[in-house]
Amino acid sequence: MRATPGSGSSLLFDLVSRLGNLALTFAIGLGLAPLTAGQTAPGGGGTGGSASAVEALRRLKGMDFEANPALKAALMRVVDTTRGTPAFVELVRDFELKDQEEGLLDFAGQHPADPAAAEAIRMILEGGGLESLRAQVRSAAIPRQEAWVQAAANTADPRVIPLLLDAVKAEGRSTTSRAVAIRGLARTEAGARELLRYAAEPNGGLEEPGRTTASLALAQSRWPEVRSEAAKVLPAPKSADGGELPSVNELIRLRGDAVRGAAVFQSEQASCSKCHVAGRVGVDFGPALSQIGTKLGRQALYESILDPSSGISFGYEGWSVETRGGDEVFGILASETDEELAIKQQTGGVVRLKKSEVTRRERQQLSIMPAGLASVLSRQELVDLVEYLTTLKAP
């Protein structure tokens, strides 16, 4: 017997006539069609069912969901089950769904490095949400600020320039957030020019460590005029032998001597081994470097040496703690309980403080690793050091 218009069977008939068994899977997964004897729900009722439904929806792209309320409701049920995943961003984009800014922003805040996070920010911009986004970033806690700024920077979209400038200029922003915003501005010509204008301001302008971050980023710009102007406004740091350092793009093409680099690592002027362990050498204070050559490429190694505050590793932020007795303890927060703080100091030792005795604790915005290492090394010593670090790999 022919299904009556508007019924669930009619919807199922329409789906199956268009797409066959995949649509039937979609319909069963959404409860639009009953399971028959011997059938099981797609994915056993778990994430596999959602994945099957998403795949079916991809093939329904182009259908008029607004003309079919039942199908639209089915679509929205799938959208709800995919919140917090890249599939959610894809569905919002492909089906041009409105009023999804909250979900898009939430995804970008949780997964800022995912390419879908940049796509989520673009969709918010396309919906006219720039000012709302700027307000949200301004009022958010630091971790969420950093995440949204990273996602926005990864769009390489000129429309985010005002938001990124906020992160560069505003007081109270983390050093990491400011560095990410600077690099994001450098990705577009318009953003790079705004950054140069700000850096050139005679009063106030861009301060360190932001100037170093901007100098490194703009020296690698693909626009010759930007590179030329940056060389005047933000000259490259000088090495110990008196010359300006080449850009990172030039440095990564140079090869050094790893044996000499190991000696630089342990030298008094570089002092790397006073805070980092590499193999059996060094003090366990900063991030261990025994496998750093596996984790970072040459460009990232140079940037972390030349501009250490631009990317402080999670868990290695510096803290200043004062006690009722007037003592100040500086180091890394090793652990915390309801009653006690444990602060690891540069010697590798740990100081334990009762919270009842702590009068002030402040997270430091700058990296514990001092800036300006390049100024105490010759260009060749810097290249040798990086060559050595590239050899430190997982067994």
Q: Which bin fits 331, alpha (ψ -120 to 50), beta or left (φ > 0)?
A: left
Q: Tokens at residue 349, please?
A: 């030792």
Pairing of strands 277-278, 281-282: antiparallel
pLDDT at 312: 74
Q: In this predicted structure, what is the pLDDT of residue 56?
A: 67
> Which residues, at least 6 apart from 91, have a Cβ–Cβ distance to it below 8 Å?
54, 57, 75, 78, 79, 82, 97
Do residues 58 and 51 touch, judged by C-beta distance below 8 A?
no
pLDDT at 24: 43
E-only strand ranges, the chain: 277-278, 281-282, 318-323, 328-336, 340-344, 350-354, 358-363
**Other C-beta atoms within 10 Å of 204: how many?**
8
State the amino acid at position 102 in one-letter form. Answer: E
**What pLDDT score was predicted for residue 202?**
83
Q: Where are the domains of the chain?
A: 330-362
pLDDT value of position 368:
80
Q: What is the pLDDT of residue 52?
A: 64
- Record the tokens describing residue 189, joined without a space: 């010509």
End-to-end CA distance of the chain: 69
| Entry pTM | 0.68
- Return the pLDDT at 64: 75
Please report, for residues 212, 251, 268, 292, 307, the alpha-carbon distance to residue 373 in angstroms, rounded to integers and kept in the order given: 12, 15, 12, 18, 9
Q: Which helix (H) or strand (E) holds 274?
A: none
Contacts of 28 (CB under 8 A, 6+ apart): 34, 35, 39, 41, 42
Digit-by-digit pLDDT tens for the chain (395 residues) are: 344 444 444 444 454 444 444 444 455 444 444 433 333 333 333 445 556 666 767 767 777 777 778 778 878 888 888 999 999 999 999 888 999 999 999 999 999 999 999 999 999 999 999 999 999 999 999 889 999 999 999 999 999 999 999 999 988 788 889 999 999 999 999 999 999 999 999 876 898 888 988 988 898 888 989 999 998 999 887 788 877 888 888 999 999 999 999 999 999 888 899 889 998 899 888 899 999 999 999 999 998 888 887 777 778 888 999 988 888 888 899 999 999 999 988 777 888 999 999 999 988 877 888 777 878 889 999 999 999 999 999 88
Task: Assess contact for 14 and 23: CB atoms under 8 A.
Answer: no
* Partners of 58 in beta bridges: none
pLDDT at 375: 80
pLDDT value of position 193: 96
Let me know the angle formed at the C-alpha of 216 by 214 and 219, rounded to the nearest 5 degrees: 100
Give residue-wise pLDDT tens across range 62-100: 777 777 787 788 788 888 889 999 999 999 998 889 999
Quick one: pLDDT at residue 49?
52
